[in-house]
Structure 1
Amino acid sequence: MITELKTQFAHALWKPGDNLSDRWALQSESRDTVSFNRQKLTDREQLLLSLLLSEPLSPPAPQTKEENAWHAYLFGDGQQPPTEETICAVHFQLEKPLEDFAAFREAVLNTFPPYTCFVWQNSMSGMLLFPSAAEDVDLDAVVELIETDFYIGISFMVGTPVEGPKAKAAWRFESELFACCKDDQTKKKRHVLQAAEAGLAYLLKQTPSLELEKLRAHFLPQEIVDDKELVRTVRVYLLENMNSTKAAKTLHLHRNSLQYRIDKFVAVTGIDIRTFPNAAFVALLLP
């Protein structure tokens, strides 16, 4: 429904640079969010939208001077915060609203580099900003921490390093990429993505479905498509960068069992996924 409403009310969608006080965030029953500019909506349009959607919980206000500056820059008309370093954004999405924002903030920031800025976009999503030269964060461990302590699921996408002047456009596009692959993450039970992986999902969505199905029908015999365990095995093998040892560990399989499944896929399809070009192609095709 959100997609249809964005099309129907495209003239009134809130855009970065619009007055922040005019922003009206709404969410569907599935908690997908969209923001409108109230000044561009008639009273009748506002009434219709209020019947179809609800207002989400308000996100916490920025807690530091730096966070306030980044929030005003990204979602309002604030000036770009001064920085001499390239910045990385880790985007996050919660599966449902939090009950204790303060405790969540403390738990997350304790796992991130010092001086990380916590910027909420709405009550269920936002970004963590820090210098790209900082030490990597074990996001899988953070996912486990949040699920254990807060009984709530969370997904992350690691963005690319960007320079300050390019940050607003870059992070807005990354947010679009993240939203694009949200359903894929849920389906594949993955909680941490790199921006390039999200870019792959984005490319797939831009490919006409008819053309994609023609490719699948040609290269993936029905015998392969129907074998869900084999498809899952190949997907994990590709996600683990074609590392048989890591893939077998993730799947809780003996390495010989994994190799048997990979050999079966190669034999039936004629596509040797142990080579990079073929692996990349199959990664695009897998249902």
Structure 2
Amino acid sequence: MKIETLFPEAVIRQDRDLSLVQDYLELLLDEQYVYLPKASLSKREQLLLGLSSKSLLGEPQMVDAWQTYFLQKQGRIPQSFECVQMVYIEHRQPLSQELKEFFTSLLVNLEALVDLSPTRTLLLLNQETFFDVETLVQDILPTIESDFGMKLTVFFGNSWTKLKGDELRIYFDNENSLFSEFIHYKSDENLISFSQAILWGLAHRSNLSAIKSKILQDINESKDIRDIIVTMWEEHGNLVQTAQKLFIHRNSLQYKLDKFASLSGLNLKKLDDLAFCYLLILTD
């Protein structure tokens, strides 16, 4: 039975059509690209067809589309996320297919693995359900380097939410440039957190305009967070003293911190994250 009979709304192309990958599920059948509108598919159908698509087109999906989006600055975002994190890996030689497959099996929320250059790879993670990739990679990085005979430098970008238009591409540009500057001056580092790099970038006047604007917006949109940041800094991060000074319950303070972390990707109980937000407020 032909695919057109099962899915009369399918769009069939002889060549890959990157303009369709956001709203359509992509399959490769009989040397033709078949695009099925996601809106017409049940979640079960999307899951089953998606697994088939990954095995036929290569795991993970839409690599070409992401390269076009990030590097050529063309097209719409290939896939939308409620929350997304970009992790950057610097390596002295191209990653082997075996190592790419290892990352794909290791990271359950990996949506795309994109070659930015022969020596840099981007891991695009869906963080709608938070997965602590930083702790995981920190624990196993020495084993990865030993098993694959390759030194890796890993930069963990921020978790971004409420993305509009091409904002993800703008944050990518800021993070990717910051990573390049950071490892140029501090080449001995092999694991770099977002807050570590961002504080270094502020001190060295890196171009962080998009990142600073987004975090300031998150601060301004979060009730009481501006006062909480200033008070926590004055109280050296002590939550009990902060709650007392602001006349709120400790549980209420914790709730506001958790809500801000979900929105901004920043944990104000970490000194580097708190310092970054405090400096943003001072210079606002």
TM-score (norm 1): 0.46
TM-score (norm 2): 0.46
> Which structure: greater strand fraction?
2
